[in-house]
Amino acid sequence: MNEKSRSPLIISILIPLAAGSLSALLSRSMTTYSSITKPDFSPPAYVFPIVWTILYVLMGISSYIIYNSNNPASGKALKIYILQLFFNFCWSIIFFRFNLYLFALIWLVVLIVLIYMMIREFYKISPWAAYLQIPYLLWCIFAALLNFFIFKMNS
């Protein structure tokens, strides 16, 4: 792979990493993860940046596969990808900055639906691109469960 052909891959990986980093920066508030009452199955705070970095890299690789496919359906698939990335970006701001736990849960459910739709569209173009999104879907389902319990415990 030459430098010119690597550029779209690097950009594809940097887009979700940048979105996640900016979202984390904008999410900072007086309420931190450690001060929220959480269920016993909550991971320690240091787990989240590690997991999200991995998921964002997988998202970027997956979106690159779709972008690079030259498939006529890639435009629709990438639009869903961008929409779900926007929902992903907003969730932590809603949850951490504004402490709107119920609204964040509803937002997260919509995000999960969008991720499912994205995986379905990616699969039509490249099963591998779709498979790379499965950990993201599973993590968001876990996050919704965690969000639900945090809502119940902090209301």
pLDDT of residue 34: 85
Residue type, 35: S
pLDDT of residue 3: 61
Is the pTM of the predicted complex or chain greater than 0.75? yes
Q: Are 38 and 149 in contact (CB under 8 A)?
A: yes
Give me 10's structure tokens: 């690097």
25's CB contacts (< 8 A; 6+ apart) are: none
Query: Around Cβ 88, how many Cβ atoms within 10 Å?
Result: 24
Q: Which residue has the higher pLDDT, 33 or 4?
A: 33
Confidence of residue 55 (pLDDT cuts 50, 70, 90): very high
* Helices 47-67 and 3-27, packing angle to 10 deg: 140
Q: Are 58 and 136 in contact (CB under 8 A)?
A: yes
33's CB contacts (< 8 A; 6+ apart) are: 45, 48, 96
Mean pLDDT, rounded, of the chain: 95
Rg (CA), the chain: 16
Average pLDDT of 56-67? Answer: 98
Query: How would you class 105 by CB atoms within 10 Å of its CB: exposed for 0-12, middle for 13-18, buried for 19 or more?
Result: buried
